[in-house]
Structure 1
């Protein structure tokens, strides 16, 4: 896998964003952070996390 298609677990995203599990799942639930489910496992593509961060930075700058 390349870094563009790497899939992160919720705990990995929690660590990168320094947010709680609930906060990460809220971002997923409100579709601010794209994710997919494989079997029963929730995964977040690295590009989705990058897009989320860029979008938030643009919103803060506006």
Structure 2
């Protein structure tokens, strides 16, 4: 399977970004500086929750 990773158009060229990919049953998330280090796979529902919490600034620190 060929996975197409993408990063936000708002990302800078410094490499401090995350990349996303649509996987068969999940959303893949990886570090753009270390693409070969693996990735996280979240269900679409978990990914939506992550985005909501990030926008609300309610993620644990």
| Interval of TM-score (by shorter of Structure 1 and Structure 2) | 0.3 to 0.5
* TM-score, structure 2 as length reference: 0.33
* TM-score, structure 1 as length reference: 0.33
Larger CA Rg, structure 1 vs 2 = 2
- Higher strand residue share: 2
